[in-house]
Structure 1
Amino acid sequence: MSSRKHLTLSEVKRLLLAARYGTDPERDCCLIWMCFIHGCRVSEINSWKLADIDLNGGNIYIHRLKNGFSTIHPLYANERSALSTWLETRKSYRGADSDWLFLSRKGNRLSRQRIYALIRDCSIRAGLEVEAHPHMLRHACGFALADKGMDTRLIQDYLGHRNIQHTVLYTASNARRFREIW
């Protein structure tokens, strides 16, 4: 197993494909996709409540931990679809009247440990070279934004970093920034 600390975009896609064949595909696909798209820490995503999501307005409130900047992110088309599918399936879960977005089969808030286990299991089913964990999706988000040519300050704001030194990692090691030099 590699000691790499992030997933590539193709690995995230493989992780999502593997999640489709798990026991809770609607929940797991939604969780993985949203964790990646918003660069969430595991404790941020398992703390989401239904009230944090405005499907009509197309926004989600991201409450950052570790003294990070909390903000509102847009909900993108693919994630809106995954979220709508999950919310419909969620109605059949025990505890569906709960405020938590992601529920376990027992009706409780999905625990950090369970999120780690489901992402690890999906990475094994996907045949990834790394044993994935939730923080790798946060780093994957940062690297994907850098690959898209996003400015370091924008990535900093998007991930909620107070110190830009935590963000430079994504842009400093990005080969794409050198493509137009010559």
Structure 2
Amino acid sequence: MCAAKDKSRVREPSKAGKYGNRGAGRRPNLEIRPREHLTPDEVERLMAAARRQGRHGHRDATMVLIAYRHGMRAGELVTLRWDQVDLKGGLLHVSRLKGGTPSTHPVRGPELRALRRLQRDYPHTPYVFTTERGGPLTDSGFRKIVSRAGEAAGLGFPAHPHQLRHACGYKLAADGHDTRAIQAYLGHRNIMHTTRYTELAPDRFKSFWRD
């Protein structure tokens, strides 16, 4: 008779991990993006560095400013058109990607001045942020702008556009704005995406006890 199989033997896990070879060789997100967001001071440094670089310094710095103030993704920013901007009324209509909800934001003094100059510098184009030929910039083009500016600013870590969207969320939460209002401002359909900012807001408990 054949010897019975030893059922007590435990199969050792594959060295490739729980999911086999899927994702082998990929670096964890924390290695690629050690910082999720920028502080307000770092955003200022990034804008200043972008402004100093090349012939399009004002355009590049304005892109950083608008992405930060309005929590815009790279794809939302580079496709922004002048018919979404009301310079007289001080309004900006933000169209969201990834199924987000659109909204209309107020545009403040520094943004208005920057956008008016941009319109003078790049006339006769439907897009707010353009190449020299008048076409829209690409996502990868904006990523390069932010990356180069981050290096020039001496941030000490890789800078990427999505840090500006997160910086907006954290700044609004730190300023004590209502979670639902931040959700609408950033275009989140699911409020769970918004609570990441309010959970870490340093002032959210400041009114709990008053002596």
Length-normalised TM-score, structure 1: 0.93
- Aligned ranges 1:95-134 → 2 under 5 Å: 97-134=124-161
1:26·1:89 contact (CA, 8 Å) conserved in 2? no
The separation in 1 between residues aligned to 2:92 and 2:50, in whole angstroms, is 23
The separation in 1 between residues aligned to 2:91 and 2:65, in whole angstroms, is 15
Of residues 198, 205, 208, the one that matches 1:171 is 198
Structure 1 segments, 4+ long, off by >6 Å, are none
Q: Give unpaired runs (5+ residues) of structure 1.
A: 92-96
Deviation at 1:179, TM superposition (A): 3.3
Q: Determine the structure 1 residue equivalent to 2:10.
A: none
Q: How far does the alpha carbon of each residue in 1:47-66 deviate from its partner, in whole angstroms, 9 at most, with x for none?
A: 11111111011111100111
Q: Determine the structure 2 residue equivalent to 1:8.
A: 39
Q: 3-state SS of the aligned residue for 2:34?
A: coil
Q: Does 1:153 align with 2:180?
A: yes
Q: Does 1:37 align with 2:69?
A: yes
| CA RMSD after TM alignment | 1.3
Q: 3-state SS of the aligned residue for 1:106?
A: coil
The separation in 2 between residues aligned to 1:55 and 1:42, in whole angstroms, is 22
Q: Determine the structure 2 residue equivalent to 1:162.
A: 189
Q: 3-state SS of the aligned residue for 2:203?
A: helix
The separation in 2 between residues aligned to 1:130 and 1:147, in whole angstroms, is 23
Of residues 41, 49, 60, the one that matches 1:28 is 60
Q: Give unpaired runs (5+ residues) of structure 2.
A: 1-30
Q: Determine the structure 1 residue equivalent to 2:101.
A: 69
Q: Name the count of aligned residue pairs.
A: 177
- Which is richer in helix? 1
Q: Determine the structure 1 residue equivalent to 2:79.
A: 47
Question: Is the radius of gyration larger for structure 1 or structure 2?
Answer: 2
Q: 3-state SS of the aligned residue for 1:109?
A: coil
The separation in 2 between residues aligned to 1:57 and 1:51, in whole angstroms, is 13
Query: Percent of aligned pairs with the same residue?
Result: 38
1:64·1:160 contact (CA, 8 Å) conserved in 2? yes
Deviation at 1:71, TM superposition (A): 1.0
2:122·2:134 contact (CA, 8 Å) conserved in 1? no
